[in-house]
């Protein structure tokens, strides 16, 4: 029995020494595990002794080792508390200079494209247009057919498209016009909507990206004229870029409008006086517009004898480049916070 308690005492001593040497919680927990834990030296010793001891001594051995183990547990708790108190005291020593400014929490902010889209939506909302949105994965009918671009129509090449594998009639939309089609199929005139959204074209250079943001607009009612179109476009450009801004409409062609026009705005860099950016013309092209082709009304069941309409479209990224003087479209998408941070 004597040697037994010696052995246990030795183990307790070793435990105490190592515990005193432990300087952090993790070390303390390790020492405890090595001695008092389920597979700790003292428990293992206890099992060993109990197995080899005669029955008469089992009880006293059990008591002796449990006393040791209780001491171990108490010492363990004590060590943890000691460490905790030390950390709290150290904390209290730490003097906080309350006059120091707080850590600035860097607030995020809206992306310039979002800022531009919201401004465009607000300007049109003030003149009675509502915002319509729709799916980015579209059917061939909504993206092409209904817009007077049947299967073999050459205009399809102008809108080089991403087709969806094994579904020839499913495409990534090349413009937001399919939303106007869906809207006209869903409601009778009058219609006054603008349709912002992401569109996809197989196009990739400094000023074109395969994914870009576009906004289109549609106004259908009785007696809608080209003059209304010009008035709305001029109002929009002046609200977004300044009252000194002007527009120019140059004859053009789009399958879904007739007559059609390229839409130019006064150069934002020289305000129309002529500079290197606008090649001395004083104008910068931003998009297109026109009167809705009756062929389109036929596809959506509108009576083109009774209703006329105008439509327009431009790239929001391009508009944001002009509004914020950005020279490379990829800045909008390459996620460089130094660039994005400028637009608070």
Q: Which residues bind ligand 2U9 (CB under 6 A)?
A: 175, 177, 180-181, 214, 216, 218, 254, 256-257, 287-290, 292, 296, 311-315
Q: At 182, which helix (H) or strand (E)? A: helix 177-186
Nearer to ligand 2U9, 87 or 158 (CB): 158
Q: From the CB of 167, what's the least distance to ligand 2U9, in Å?
A: 23
Q: From the CB of 186, what's the least distance to ligand 2U9, in Å?
A: 13
Classify residue 54 by its DSSP letter.
-
Nearer to ligand 2U9, 7 or 203 (CB): 203
Nearer to ligand 2U9, 72 or 149 (CB): 149
Q: From the CB of 273, what's the least distance to ligand 2U9, in Å?
A: 25
Q: From the CB of 101, what's the least distance to ligand 2U9, in Å?
A: 46
Specify the residue for token string 């219609």. Answer: 191
Nearer to ligand 2U9, 214 or 266 (CB): 214
DSSP letters along 184-233, please? HHHSPSPEEEEEEEEEE-S--BTTB-SEEEEEEEEEEETT--HHHHHHHH
Nearer to ligand 2U9, 40 or 255 (CB): 255
Nearer to ligand 2U9, 183 or 266 (CB): 183
Angstrom distance (rounded) from CA 317 to CA 332: 8
Contact 284, 267 (CB under 8 A): yes
Angstrom distance (rounded) from CA 130 to CA 145: 25
CA dihedral 45, 46, 49, 51 (to 10 degrees): -120
DSSP letters along 249-271, please? EEEEEETTEEEEEEEEEE-TTTT
Helix%, strand%, coil% for the chain, nearest 5: 45, 20, 35
Q: From the CB of 102, what's the least distance to ligand 2U9, in Å?
A: 45
Q: How many CB atoms lie within 10 A of CB 110?
A: 13
The answer for residues whose C-beta is within 8 angstroms of residue 225's C-beta and 6 or more apart is 308, 310
Nearer to ligand 2U9, 40 or 313 (CB): 313
On the question of a cis peptide bond just before residue 259, with omega within 30 degrees of 0, the verdict is: yes
Nearer to ligand 2U9, 272 or 315 (CB): 315
Backbone dihedral region of 197: left (phi > 0), alpha (psi from -120 to 50 degrees) or beta? left
Ranked by CB distance to ligand 2U9, the top (closest) residue is: 288
Q: From the CB of 261, what's the least distance to ligand 2U9, in Å?
A: 8
Q: From the CB of 96, what's the least distance to ligand 2U9, in Å?
A: 55
Nearer to ligand 2U9, 138 or 216 (CB): 216
Q: Tell me if residue 165 falls in helix, strand or coil.
A: coil
Angstrom distance (rounded) from CA 281 to CA 279: 6
Q: From the CB of 300, what's the least distance to ligand 2U9, in Å?
A: 8
Q: From the CB of 305, what's the least distance to ligand 2U9, in Å?
A: 18
């Amino acid at each position: 029995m004597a040697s037994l308690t010696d052995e246990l005492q030795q183990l307790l001593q070793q435990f105490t020494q190592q515990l005193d040497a432990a300087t952090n919680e993790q070390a303390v927990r390790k020492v405890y595990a090595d001695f008092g834990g389920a597979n700790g030296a003292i428990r293992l010793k206890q099992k060993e002794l109990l197995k080899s001891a005669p029955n008469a001594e089992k009880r006293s051995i059990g008591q002796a080792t449990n006393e040791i183990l209780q001491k171990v547990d108490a010492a363990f708790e004590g060590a943890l508390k000691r460490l905790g108190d030390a950390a709290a005291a150290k904390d209290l020593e730490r003097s906080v200079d309350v006059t120091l400014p707080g850590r600035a929490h860097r607030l995020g902010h809206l992306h310039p494209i979002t800022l531009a889209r919201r401004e465009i939506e607000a300007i049109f909302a003030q003149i009675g247009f509502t915002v319509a949105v729709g799916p980015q994965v579209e059917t061939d009918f909504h993206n092409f057919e209904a817009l007077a671009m049947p299967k073999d129509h050459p205009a399809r090449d102008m809108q080089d498209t991403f087709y969806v594998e094994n579904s020839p009639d499913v495409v990534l939309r090349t413009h937001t016009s399919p939303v106007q089609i869906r809207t006209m199929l869903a409601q009778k005139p009058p219609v006054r909507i603008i349709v912002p959204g992401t569109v996809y074209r197989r196009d990739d250079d400094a000023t074109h990206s395969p994914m870009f943001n576009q906004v289109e607009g549609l106004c259908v009612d009785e007696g809608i004229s080209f003059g209304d179109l010009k008035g709305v476009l001029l109002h929009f450009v002046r609200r977004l870029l300044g009252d000194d801004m002007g527009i120019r409409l140059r004859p053009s062609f789009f399958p879904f409008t007739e007559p059609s026009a390229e839409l130019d705005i006064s150069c934002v860099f020289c305000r129309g006086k002529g500079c290197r950016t606008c090649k001395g013309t004083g104008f910068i092209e931003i998009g297109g517009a026109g009167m809705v082709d009756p062929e389109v009304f036929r596809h959506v069941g509108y009576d083109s004898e009774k209703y006329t309409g105008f439509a327009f479209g431009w790239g929001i990224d391009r508009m944001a480049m002009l509004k914020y003087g950005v020279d490379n479209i990829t800045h909008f998408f390459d996620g460089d916070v130094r660039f994005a941070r400028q637009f608070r």
